[in-house]
């Protein structure tokens, strides 16, 4: 799976892919197919912290924009990476770029496992929540409902600053790390995407991914 994700990420524009891991078996697997891996500490509480450590090993001029791609996302599309980067670079004040997808199933709006993002007219994220936001009052038109697609592009300096900050109240309450950025005043710009992914956390997830790949979805 890691080789599949690595090669798909490599198809994004101007991408130089590096795997950050604390497991020598992962490093060995990556190097066996010709990829590049960086060993990081075992003590990182979040993926952002691991990413920040890995970035410190990379030349600054070669890593001004960092994209965090999870290795358990085999359906990642190179175009998604490009869109996240474009969200960031289109807004000089933005620290982070990410993606949103329109919610079409009302059940997703009520599902706490589907993270929602509320955005301004300029595409900047106003809030992320597991709750069904935005709420529609009786007699009022429904506002746009967006699912957050958790792919992030960071400016290098923003990533390093964010990784050094303690967890924040809303982050703890919602168990959403991206709220730390908003609570500290970082601007997160979003782009709409038509793509979605399946994170592989269980055997059932893997079976669904294999079925979609077999059907030509990836």
Mean pLDDT of 118-142: 96
164 domain-assigned: yes
Q: CA torsion, points 126, 131, 133, 135, in degrees to nearest 10? A: -140
44 domain-assigned: no
Buried/exposed 174-202: b ≥16 CB within 10 Å, e otherwise: bebbbbbbbeeebbbbbbebeeebbebee
161 domain-assigned: yes
pLDDT over threshold 70, residue 26: yes
pLDDT over threshold 70, residue 1: yes
Buried/exposed 31-45: b ≥16 CB within 10 Å, e otherwise: eeeebebbbbeeebe
| Tokens encoding 69 | 């791609």
The model carries a pTM of 0.89
Domain span at residue 182 reads: 66-214
Q: How far is the first Cα of the chain from the last one, in angstroms, to the nearest whole number? A: 12
No. of helices (H) and no. of strands (E), the chain: 9, 8
58 domain-assigned: no
| pLDDT tens per residue, range 174-204 | 999 999 999 999 999 999 999 978 777 778 8
87 domain-assigned: yes
| pLDDT tens per residue, range 149-168 | 999 999 999 999 999 999 99
50 domain-assigned: no
List the single range of 9-18, 59-68, 91-100, 189-198 with lowest mean pLDDT.
59-68
pLDDT over threshold 80, residue 113: yes
Element (H, E) at 50: helix 47-56
> Which DSSP state fits 177?
T
55 domain-assigned: no
Give the domain CATH number at 194.
3.90.550.10
Mean pLDDT of 133-143: 93
Q: What is the tally of structural domains in the chain?
A: 1
The predicted structure's pLDDT at residue 105: 92
14 domain-assigned: no
Q: CA-based diameter of the chain, in Å?
A: 60
SS3 at position 111:
coil
């Amino acid at each position: 799976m890691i080789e599949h994700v690595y090669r798909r990420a490599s198809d994004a524009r101007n991408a130089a892919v590096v795997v950050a891991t604390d497991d020598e078996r992962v490093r060995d697997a990556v190097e066996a197919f010709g990829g590049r891996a960086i060993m990081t500490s075992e003590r990182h509480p979040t993926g952002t912290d691991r990413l920040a450590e890995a970035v410190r090993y990379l030349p600054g001029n070669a890593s001004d924009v960092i994209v965090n791609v999870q290795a358990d996302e085999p359906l990642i599309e190179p175009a998604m990476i490009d869109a996240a980067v474009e969200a960031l670079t289109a807004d000089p004040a933005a620290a982070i770029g990410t993606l949103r997808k329109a919610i079409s199933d009302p059940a997703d709006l009520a599902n706490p496992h589907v993270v929602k993002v509320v955005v301004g007219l300029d595409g900047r994220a106003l809030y992320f929540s597991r709750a069904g936001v935005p709420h529609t009052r009786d007699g009022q038109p429904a506002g746009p409902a967006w699912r957050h697609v958790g792919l992030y592009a960071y400016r290098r300096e923003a990533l390093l600053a964010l990784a050094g900050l303690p967890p924040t109240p809303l982050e703890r309450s919602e168990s959403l790390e991206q709220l730390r950025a908003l609570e500290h005043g970082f601007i997160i710009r979003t782009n709409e995407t038509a793509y979605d992914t399946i994170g592989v956390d269980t055997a059932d997830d893997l079976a669904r991914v294999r079925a979609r790949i077999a059907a030509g979805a990836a």
